[in-house]
Structure 1
Amino acid sequence: MKAAAAQASVPAPALLHQALASQAAAEFVMASGYDGTIIDLQHGEVGLEDACRMLRAIPRDRNAYAYARVGSIDAATILRLLDSGARGIVAPTVETAAQASALVTAVKYPPLGGRSLGPSRPALYDGEPYTDAGNHAVSAIIQIETRAGVENAEAIFATPGLDSVYLGPADLAVSHGLPGRGDWADGPVRDALVELSYLARGAGLTFGSYCASPAYAKALIEDGLVDYVGLGIDLVFLNRMAQDAITALRSES
């Protein structure tokens, strides 16, 4: 997500994490009103071939936030995802400027990075020259989710070609010895969120965070702390709906 895309008058985009390998689900996410998706190759059952098919299932006129989170910063995997239409790559557990630089190298065409030109979806990027258009259209997004990442944030955020920072609150909580949950109103995770939001904006980057509940996500947006949110996980939604349905069926009331 580009810093220039975050405007106060525009509602903050909401993205659904997808852990289920389903092209239909990718289509339904967009039809439901979500602004985009984060296809998760780090957790869940989505493999590279699945992710490429899911990206192609997202309508071309709605794919501005068609993101993929990789398991590691592997240039070959990232290239396949980008050529299938990913508009952003989220790299998890970034703790050093060198890792952020490796992500930019994999995501961006020269001179910013080292992405290779090759056959991809027709007219993937509009504009001339093509490589400049591609670099503008695709976001390099680092995920901060450890104490080390927070401590090194200023150096990481200074990486040329980086576009956005995404907070992983559950893993950050675990790194502090706390329960691995997403929504924190106080404590070290909340403190880190506020600090990272300030530092990211100061570096010309956008800032987002995963949120478990709509109320928490709305509060972060209204407080001006985030430019976008990851709101929920498809597998968790399915589990909750199934639990609600069977509980209602078997209730005695």
Structure 2
Amino acid sequence: MNVMLRNNLIDTVSEDRVCTAVGIRVIANNEVISLAKAAGYDSIFIDLEHSVFSEKDASQLCSAALSSDITPVVRVPYECGHGYIQRVLDGGAMGIVFPHINTAEEARMAVSSTKFPPKGKRSLTAALPHFHFQKIGAADLVQQLDSTCSTVFIQVETRECLENIEAIAAVDGVDVLLVGANDLSLELGVLGEWEHQTFQAALKKVAATARRNGKVFGIAGMYSRPDICKRIVRDMGARYVLGQFDIGLLAMAMNKNVEMLRDLSTGFYPYLMSS
């Protein structure tokens, strides 16, 4: 059976549009995928680095996303090993976000863990959620998974990574240079100072490097400053943007809702029931 997979990141970038993503860190139920679909997100960013999600949780979310035509990417824990990455990919991920990559050699190891021989060291299995567990010929399966379902995100969040960014971007198989704004600004000594010249210079360096090497430039962690995000997209060419995590969206909506509820009592004179 011939099943062709679609990767929304590849499609949106080819059309010079932004791939929009929502982060999932606390809600492991499939309903969050339905909400993401209804809202119009292109991708979900499942966080296994800063959550207590299991690989099974990630796989269930990935499978639901695949059925909803939303591209699932998964951030794995630092130095989790090839075996762990294999399980996440077999569970339905279409991309892996690698945190704390510092050198070109580490980037090559990351790529190797996502690709089949001769490009890498991923092992072959069958009955995958990407194909809704249908039987797919081995050659077609390998070709599609290598080309469409193994996007490699290198998270740029350390000073060493920034220093080695040209060599990292030159690694064959690296697809996205994703700036982790919080950790990178922390390493640079300007935590949360998004308009500081040091942080802005770092953004420009990553953006220019991505452009020279034909990689996608992405940004994460700038949830509170849509004005700066807009400049990063418009002026620096970012095409993958992580909008916010589920926990942040819930917190913002609850805060707004309680403000509305408290406003109901503004100028309110209690009604005194007569006896």
1:236 to 1:4, Cα distance in 2 relative to 1, 3 A: closer
The aligned counterpart of 1:23 is 30
1:193 to 1:126, Cα distance in 2 relative to 1, 3 A: farther
Choose the corresponding residue for 1:117, options 103, 120, 124: 124
TM-score (norm 2): 0.82
Percent identity reads 28
Alignment pair present for 1:197 and 2:207: yes
Choose the corresponding residue for 1:136, options 131, 134, 147: 147
Comparing 75-84 with 148-157, which one deviates more in the overlay? 75-84
Alignment pair present for 1:78 and 2:85: yes
Matched AA of 2:19? P
Cα RMSD (Å) of the superposition?
Answer: 2.4
The aligned counterpart of 1:69 is 75
Contact 1:194 1:225 in 2 (8 A): no
Cα deviations by residue, 1:135-157 (Å, 9 ceiling, x for unpaired): 11020111010111101111211
Alignment pair present for 1:97 and 2:108: no
Contact 2:92 2:130 in 1 (8 A): no
Unaligned runs of 5+ in 1: none
Task: Give the Cα separation in 2 of the matches to 1:13 and 1:132.
Answer: 23
Structure number with bigger Rg? 2
Task: Give the Cα separation in 1 of the matches to 2:129 and 2:23.
Answer: 23
SS in 1 for 2:131: coil
TM-score (norm 1): 0.89
Contact 1:3 1:163 in 2 (8 A): no
Task: Give the Cα separation in 1 of the matches to 2:117 and 2:91.
Answer: 19
Contact 1:75 1:106 in 2 (8 A): yes
The aligned counterpart of 2:180 is 168
Contact 1:92 1:142 in 2 (8 A): yes
Contact 1:19 1:39 in 2 (8 A): yes
SS in 2 for 1:6: helix
Unaligned runs of 5+ in 2: 1-6, 267-275
Alignment pair present for 1:88 and 2:101: no
Cα deviations by residue, 1:15-40 (Å, 9 ceiling, x for unpaired): 11111223211231122111111100
Task: Give the Cα separation in 2 of the matches to 1:35 and 1:132.
Answer: 23
Deviation at 1:241, TM superposition (A): 1.2
Deviation at 1:193, TM superposition (A): 1.0
Alignment pair present for 1:209 and 2:219: yes
Contact 1:217 1:231 in 2 (8 A): no
Cα deviations by residue, 1:206-225 (Å, 9 ceiling, x for unpaired): 11011314443333222242
Q: How does 1:208-247 map to 2 (within 5 A)?
A: 208-210=218-220, 211-212=222-223, 213-247=225-259
1:173 to 1:127, Cα distance in 2 relative to 1, 3 A: same
1:25 to 1:5, Cα distance in 2 relative to 1, 3 A: closer
Contact 1:142 1:164 in 2 (8 A): yes
Matched AA of 1:123? F
